[in-house]
Structure formats: structure tokens, C-alpha cells
Amino acid sequence: MGTGTAGAAGTAAGPGSVVASCSDVAACGGNVIGTWTVGSSCLAVSGNLDVSGFGLGCTSMPVTGSLQVTGTWTANSDGTYSDNTSTSGNQQITVPAVCLNVSGTTTTCDRIGGPLSGLGYASINCTNAAGGGCTCAADLQQTGGIGLASADPQTSGNYSTADNVVTVDSAQYSYCVSGDQMTWSPRSTGAITTGTIVLQKAGTGAVSGSAGSEGTPVVGGIVGAAGSPGSVGSGGASAGGAAGAPATPPSTGTGPGPCDLYAAGGTPCAAAYSPVRLLSSTYGGPLYQVRKGGSNTGTGGTLLDIGVVAGTGFGDGAAQDAFCGADTCTVSRLYDQSGRGNDLTVAPAGCYVGNDPNNPDSASRPDVESNAKGRSLMVGGHKVYALYTNVGEGYRNNAPTGMPMDVAPQGVYMVADGKRYGGACCWDFGNASKDNCYGTTGIMDALFLGTGYWGRGAGNGPWFMADFEGGVWAGGSGANNAVNNNLPTSNQDYAFGLLKTTSTNYAIRVGNAQSGGLTTAYDGMTPKTLRRNGAIILGIGGDNSNHSLGTFFEGAITAGRPSDETDAAVLQNVQAQGYGI
């Protein structure tokens, strides 16, 4: 048993004795390197909330409220930072009636709160307002993104300082360092945040030292460190920690894949994609392609195909690392593993006008390629990369071959990150129109993951649902806003979802890509006759509604509706790969 050192005595003055001004700081710059603890804050929010990334019928909503900040923020000498702050507060949001128009349909006040929670709100309650629209009371609870409400707050990244402004990723703060105290004021647009955050440098205030107490005993030098479950031959307990899980040998990723299982079941893959691994034993090409330099709109730079590591079926993450280095890299192509050559590249603009039709700047634009470095992970002991899509990013093929057409049956499966999802339209994978547009006669058959403005399942989401255009269904053959309590939340690290359709019937089945079986959430009549148009989409809606986000690991579209037995075999195949190990 190790022995901790005695705690240092704190000084009399600490950050808690400093009261933040509710007016912006007089910026003076200074050295930000070090760890800083928030002593106090006073931040007011007013103006217009930017909702341009939500695919609504408006770009902004009036908002008022206040924010408080606690925690620590660290600036390293190499230009990186870590953000261990929490930003919280209460806000009031006014939703004009025009905002309720979404991709050709109209949502309601009780539906719009869920997607808006993607801005970082822990809870939001929207009620009908007199004269139309909604009034929403929102409670913000956010980790990272110090002092600025964000749909995707970051807890680490890069920072820089210049002209009395510290830039943290893309967020900017006026600042002034005076001795061991640093004061920030957010520089925001739209919803204006005014006031200050006062921070004290670690080791200088009461917060930095405890009053001469004996140190906390340390067992074995590491407090309760558990044995690594993925270490071959370990399987025991680490010093002073909990017993480690039995060692799991790395998977080779070779052998039959989902496309082999689908073919054996009489429903062959029409398209199959994964930057993580091989999905077919007969496919011998690369998994994806990266672009270094050039434009993320899909031009220029240097291209490299990323295949599998020799002797395995897993993507060569090391090859991507060596090629990209510190440079910017994007995913320029996802190769189709079905043998049909239905590769996916960055999606063109669609007919959906994302916000205000009277504002030319709101018109749909072409998508951009996703950051190839956005998400790495371990699968079967191998480092690989996922397709990490943000708002405005998506992939499409409008001229594929062998896709289910018109009333032909279809199946779709997908493995995605259930902890990273959007609340807008539409993070889909499946069959869509070839003209980047939408309609009401059924020209879409795609698997959706997120929350959205329409149907919902049990819990808080996200949910795998069916996007049939003109709405997203959680089940049932009626209105697209129906609640299906048989559809569980899919918030696993590696969520598994299935959508199986004929022209008049569909089934939604969900599971966990790491363990367990499948839950059939719905298997019954469709809300309308499905007539497929044959294009392939990933990360967007059929009309290029690209306001959502997600992380894609693997998936396939089949010609024909697979049997339940084939579904189970595919899930078991996925689980055997060792996602997260």
C-alpha cells in the first residue's frame, strides 16, 4: 500500500473571493498557459439563437437567459487545451410559427423540444404560444465549451492567442491576465453572451491547496485501477484494483461477413460500406479513400486508398495516420463492398431549402467531406477509423446499379454510435430519390438514427426509425408523429439497427453490436405504399436535408427483405468482431 503526500496549505485568498463583473472585460491579453479554476461568473444571454443547423423553416429564434460556469480549463504550451468546465443556466426561447415547417411537413411544439435539446439543454419544455409558434423553457447543462452554449461542446482541442483574444477551436473570448487571475468575456454572434468568467491559476488560491491534511492513501500507486479487459494474457487484477475481465484474443476480422450471410439467405447486398472492416469474403478492394489537402468539397489534394491490414479484415488505421500526419484529411470515397461498384462520394445540393425561403443564403448547398480523423476506435485489437459526419456533411450515389427499385423489397442494417446523434433532419442510410429532391408518394426507404421532429420510441432516444419521406416513423401505419413504446432507445456505444421493407410492410429491429439479441420494435403495415427510386444516401435525407450528425461504422442495403434468422446471424457476426476491444 502506497502512502500519499500531505496536502499543501492554501493561501487566504482564493478565486471564490472574486466576484465576476456582469459587464465585458477590458481586454489586455497575457499568458494563458497553465491550469485555471473558475472562481465566479456572470453571463447574460440575449438576442437570436442560431438554429440554421436544424433544418427548420427559420434560421434563428429569440432567446434570453443567464449562464454560470464552474470547473477548470487548462492551456498547454503546445497549443492544446483541456476543458473540464460545466456551463449551466436557464433560458427562454421563442419559436415563431414559421420555424415549425420541416422538410415538407409541419411539426408541433411538443416535438420541437427534443431536437432543440441537441444544443446542450438537459431539459426543454415547449408549449403553444398565443398567435402561433411556441414558448420554450430550457435548462442548459453542458460539459466543455466554456461559457458558450453549443450543440457539440469540445473538452479538448487547439487554442491560440492574438490581439487580446483567445480562440478555442472556433470560439473566441476577449481576455485579460492580471497576476494569477484571468478574466474572459465570450465573443458571440446571434445569441449575444455578455459578462465575464473569472479564473484563478492553480496553486495560487484557496482552491489549489488543502489545509495541511494527510494525503489520501494510494493503493499500489494507482487508486482502484481495473485490469485492462483487452490485454492478451492479463485477465487478473491490477494492483489495488478490481479484477480484470478475462483476456480476449484480438479478432482477425477474416471469414464470412454480413454480405456472405445475406447472399446465403437469398437477399444479397446491393451496397455495403465500412471504413472499419471487410463485409464480404469475396471483396478484395480498399475500404475507403482519404484526401490530404485540396478542398473538402471534393477536389484537389492527394488521394490514398485505405485497405485492410494484411492477414486481417480490418482497416489499416496506421496507413491513414502515416499518410495524413498533422495535415487535414477528409474521407473522399466509401468503396462499395457488394461487388456492384456503388461507391459513395460527397453529396450534391438538394431541393430542400434549409431555412427561410425568402433568404437566398438559406438555400441548400452541396455537402462537404467528413474529417477522416474524426473518430478512431479499437475493434478486435486493431486501430481503425469511423466515418464521423457533422452537420453539412453527407455522401450519395445517384447512379448505382442493382438497387431495389419501385415496389421491390429491401433490407438495411447499420452500426453507429448511439451516443453521438442529432435532433434534426436527417441522418439516414438507405434508398432515396435520384434527383436530390422529395415527394409525398414514397420515394425513400432509409434507416434513420437520431431524435427528430416526428415519431419517437421509449426513453429519451436516439432511436432507429424509418424515413419514408414526408416524415420519420417509429412504427405504425398512421401519423408520422406516433409514439412507439416498443422501440427502445439505442444509446449504446455501438448501436445496431435494421429496417426491412416490402411495398406495404416494414419492420424495425434493434440491438447492441457488442452483446445480446434483437428486439422487434414493429413489424406491420406501412403508412403508404413504398416506391423506391434507387439512389443511395448516407448521413443526409433524400432532399439533402443535412442538418443532423452521426458516426457510421458499417452497414449494407440488400436486394430483398432478409429473414429474421439472417438478421440474427448478421448481428452475431458484428458482435464477433470485438467492437470497442
Pairing of strands 302-306, 387-389: unpaired
Mapped onto helix, strand or coil, the DSSP state of residue 423 is coil
Q: Measured at the alpha carbon of residue 379, what is the angle toward residues 377 and 383, in degrees to the nearest 5?
A: 50
Distances (CA, A) of 495 to 376, 445, 450, 459: 16, 20, 12, 15
Please give the Cα distance from 195 to 24 (Å, whole number).
5
Instruction: Please give the grid coordinates belonging to residue 292.
Output: 490530404
* Pair 75, 32: CB distance under 8 Å: yes
Cα dihedral sign, 318-321-324-325: negative
Q: Which residues of 31-42 are buried (b: 16+ CB within 10 A; e: fewer)?
A: ebebbbbbbbbb
Q: How many helices (H) and strands (E) does the chain have?
A: 4, 31
Single out the catalytic residue among 180, 343, 393, 469: 469
Distances (CA, A) of 116 to 101, 176, 391, 473, 484: 14, 34, 14, 19, 21
Mapped onto helix, strand or coil, the DSSP state of residue 573 is helix
Return the beta strands (E) in 526-571 as ranges: 535-538, 550-559
Instruction: Please give the grid coordinates belonging to residue 305.
Output: 486508398
* Pair 523, 510: CB distance under 8 Å: no
Please give the Cα distance from 574 to 237 (Å, whole number).
29
469 noted as active-site residue: yes
Mapped onto helix, strand or coil, the DSSP state of residue 258 is helix
Single out the catalytic residue among 83, 343, 393, 543: 543
543 noted as active-site residue: yes
Please give the Cα distance from 391 to 354 (Å, whole number).
12
Strand-pair partners of 334: 288, 344
* Pair 377, 386: CB distance under 8 Å: yes
Active site residues: 469, 543
